[in-house]
Amino acid sequence: MGEVSQKIMIPESFQFHVPSYDIAGQLTLMWDLIKTPLLVPLLTLGVYISLAMSLMLLMERVYMGIVIVLVKLFWKKPEKRYKWEAMQDDIESGKS
């Protein structure tokens, strides 16, 4: 039988081109292993939250538009609400 290479057995995400033993290399290695399982769910959650907030803003705008139209249509005008007369000239002002 032929030899089985290590490259076939080890998934590509665990294979690294340059082994480094310094702290920067280890942090880079940890970041490469963690970033996809950590960032993708957080970004997905952020997208869903943004979508929900956008829908809430849309519903609020539509609701306020309906309220404003109804107020404009059915609000009593001051002329209809109050019985008023134009003010007469003041007798005491000395103009008469």
**56 belongs to a structural domain:** yes
**37 belongs to a structural domain:** yes
Q: Which residue has 């519903």 as its token pair?
A: 59
Which of 2-6, 7-11, 58-62 is the most confident on average? 58-62
d(CA 8, CA 23): 29
**65 belongs to a structural domain:** yes
**15 belongs to a structural domain:** no
**6 belongs to a structural domain:** no
70: containing domain: 21-83
Mean pLDDT along residues 26-47: 89
d(CA 93, CA 7): 105
Mean pLDDT along residues 17-24: 66
pLDDT digits (tens, 9 = 90+) for 52-95: 999 999 999 999 999 999 988 888 776 666 777 777 777 777 66
Count of domains forming the chain: 1
**79 belongs to a structural domain:** yes
Mean pLDDT along residues 16-44: 81
**96 belongs to a structural domain:** no
